Structures are given as structure tokens and as C-alpha cells.
Amino acid sequence: MKNGETPVAPSAIAIEGQQHFTMEGPKDYETPKALTLEEIEQIIKDYKDAAIHAIEAGFDGVELHAAFGYLPNQFLAESANQRTDEYGGTNENRNRFVLEIMQEMVNAIGNDKVAIRLSPTSTYNNIVHTNPKEQFTLLIEELNKLPLSYIHIMNAPFPVDKFPQYPLDSVETFGKLCHHPIIANCGYNRETGEAEL
């Protein structure tokens, strides 16, 4: 339902091994168009404007969905982001897109009204991180400097046996680094949820 427009991404890398639903049934993912710096700047502004509209519509705040293969998550992951400019190459550069969005939204709607959802160990939509402990530690250290409402951390929803660099418990690994309240999500039952609390 894109009216013939090619989707965009940090780099022109298609999702493989999955299909998406269309009006004509399941189809392979197309190769997205790599964003230009000008387009990245506009998208960051779009997120800011969306936050403003949400507050004007009566919402208490907004949560940036930087998980599960959505655009902010793509910028974080080496598997989707192979840029060589200031938005790719290093952990700091791959984190930049998310941090700039978060800063713009905080500036636009105020303290304690912006949150973020992270999935440091999800492999959905071909997302792979080479060193999630190092990268998400750096990301959370920067997020700690912002007046956020909370940080929402997802545990791995799928087996990560093929990814020995992934921590088995993202909430335990990254949650203790956060200065903000934590939403812990994914893989809990009543007993393990109570134990986590």
C-alpha cells in the first residue's frame, strides 16, 4: 500500500527470509532506498512534529519505537546500516539518529513526556548487532542525560543461540544501567514477572 513508492532505510538492504502482507497476498520485501542526509534531517523533524501533534491530540506523551526492525532500530544495527557518513560506521554514529530524534521530541514537548522502546537482542526483520552490550551501553548512557519518562527494554523474543554476543537477559543487562524507570517486556510469565519485580 505504498502507491508505488520505494520504502526508505539507512542503507539499500532488503529483508531476506521473510515476506510481508500485501493486497495481492504475501510478497518478498523490496530493496529500500538509502536515505540522504537531507531526508534524514526531514524524518527527524517529522518525529518531532508527530510528538507535538500527539500532545495536541491529548496524549500524555510519546514512545519512540526503536525496536523490532523499525526505522530507528535499522539505524542502530550493522545489518541494516552500512553507511559511511555521520550516521554509520561506529556505535556512536549508529546511535546518532535515535538520539537526535529523542532530543528533538524532548525539546518539542517537554520533560518526562518522551520514552523509548529498545530491543537490543531481537533478530526480527534481519536485525543483527555485532556487539550489543557495547553499543546499547553507550546509547543508554546518552539517554540517561535526557529527561525521559521511561525506557522500555525488550528481552529476545526468539532463541538467540546463534548469537553468542547477545546477553540472555536484556532487561538485566541494560536495565541496571538506566537512570529512568524501566518497562520490562517479553518472555515473562506470572512467576518470572513477579521475580523480576
pLDDT of the residue at 1 = 67
Say if 145 falls within a structural domain.
Answer: yes
Say if 155 falls within a structural domain.
Answer: yes
Asked if pLDDT for residue 158 goes beyond 80, the answer is no
Say if 59 falls within a structural domain.
Answer: yes
Instruction: Give dist(CA 132, CA 186) in Å, integer.
Output: 18
CATH number for the domain that contains residue 145? 3.20.20.70
Using the CB atoms, write b or e for 144-170: b if 16+ within 10 Å. eebebbbbbbbbbbeebeebeebbeeb
Mean pLDDT of 49-55: 98
pTM confidence score: 0.92
Say if 16 falls within a structural domain.
Answer: no
Number of domains into which the chain is organized:
1
Instruction: Tell me the average pLDDT of the chain.
Output: 92
Say if 103 falls within a structural domain.
Answer: yes
Say if 90 falls within a structural domain.
Answer: yes
Say if 1 falls within a structural domain.
Answer: no
Asked if pLDDT for residue 169 goes beyond 70, the answer is yes
Q: CA of 124: how far to CAs of 16, 37, 43, 45, 148, in Å?
A: 11, 26, 23, 27, 26
Say if 141 falls within a structural domain.
Answer: yes
Sign of CA dihedral 88, 91, 96, 97: positive
Range of the domain at 62: 36-196
Instruction: Give dist(CA 61, CA 55) in Å, integer.
Output: 6
Question: pLDDT, tens digit, for every residue of 87-125?
Answer: 999 999 999 999 999 999 999 999 999 999 999 998 878
Q: Closest Cα partner for 74 from 87, 61, 63? A: 87
Active site residues: 70
Asked if pLDDT for residue 39 goes beyond 80, the answer is yes
